Amino acid sequence: MIIFAKFLFVMRRFLLLFSLFISLAAAGQNKKDSFWRDLNDFLNMREDKSYAKLDSNYIGRYPYHWDARLFYNSTSLRIRVDGLNDVDLATGMNHRAGIGLSYRGLGLSYSRAIGKKLNFNFSLDSYGKNFGFEYALRFTTALKGTVKTPSSESPMENLVLGESRLNLFYSFNSRFSYAAAMKQSKIQRRSAGSFIASASWSVWDVVSLDGFGTVTDPEEVESVFDLLQSNLLYNRVSIGAGYGYNWVLGNRHWLIHGSLVPMWTVYEATTDWEKGKRSHHPYPYGWVTFCATGRAAVSYQWGERWSLGLNGVINQMVSRNTKKGNDFHRFGAQDWQIRLSLSFRFGSR
């Protein structure tokens, strides 16, 4: 099933997962329940061993297991193809409000566009001592633009975009914490930086709903999956390395983060369906693709329970065919996100 369908599946079951998180929190606080008490003690022991290996002059932890947050996102995506046919697609600026919950560093979050039913984002992330991952599913109906041929220009509308992205990263300096900068789930006590190795996998699923009118309801969208006129799936796998730094200011209340990770794409391919026929197109020798991820964040902590954070992430990708000729063209994409979040910690250790 295409990623678009998976998005709807995830959205319907997110509330079930969220309810499970809440029930686990309540059970973990019930001292009469020996099972949850023993489990909590076991996890505390594992966590204590992990933090014992860290330099406490640089990295600290809060005396709480749980972190709840409210956040507001602004996102944008633009895709361009330059060749015999030029394509320019963009989502414009989308605004989403959401909620998130983390337990011992493992976090879930869900956000949706204000006033739009089918624009939402689901993410799962975890930040450890050195290794971390971020997984995000995004779905938007706001993608539109134009396609230019040598003889004409036509609008492209009623498009649906589904995106799945997995980022893996490893920081070589355990005195540096991504979690302190991006989620405020750890304490960066002194300024520190680190070289970062990273790998990413991205899938973009573009679906045309032309011929089906304006679709506004999830059940209505599911009913037309088998009748879709066209679908384009783009896969990319990239690896790279960069550097990040955390600046601690104002008696440890303020934290400023900046990082840049250039990446080289080692695999990319497109798969398209046209009226039920599927064709797969790995990018041939001669294609060169570079991408980079930049991050910036500012956060303020007051007390042990509250924090306010503002962070931004930008992803830039350019793919070129180095073989000159009639088929020479370039494919590029840029997407960015700005997030304002308010966090509250609870559930004493």
Using a 10 angstrom Cβ sphere, with 0-12 exposed, 13-18 middle and 19 or more buried, the burial of residue 296 is middle
pLDDT tens, 13-42? 554 555 555 555 555 555 456 766 666 676
- The number of domains in the chain is 1
Tell me what pLDDT residue 124 has.
Answer: 92
Low-confidence ranges of the chain (pLDDT < 50): 1-12, 15, 31, 211-230, 326, 328
From residue 161, alpha-carbon distances to 80, 157, 158, 253, 326 in Å are 15, 11, 10, 39, 29
Tell me what pLDDT residue 283 has.
Answer: 62
Tell me what pLDDT residue 224 has.
Answer: 41
Tell me what pLDDT residue 218 has.
Answer: 41
- Greatest Cα pair distance, the chain, in angstroms, is 76
Tell me what pLDDT residue 185 has.
Answer: 85
217: its two tokens: 């309801």
pLDDT tens, 162-197? 888 999 999 999 899 988 888 888 889 999 999 999
Beta bridge partners of 80: 88, 332
CATH number at residue 225: 2.40.128.100
Distance CA 17, CA 22 (A): 9
What is the residue range of 314's domain? 3-348
- 8-15: list long-range contacts, CB under 8 Å, 24+ apart: 8/139, 8/218, 8/221, 8/222, 10/122, 10/137, 11/110, 11/120, 11/122, 11/139, 11/218, 12/218, 14/108, 14/110, 14/122
Whether the CB-CB separation of 119 and 113 falls below 8 Å is answered with yes
Tell me what pLDDT residue 287 has.
Answer: 66
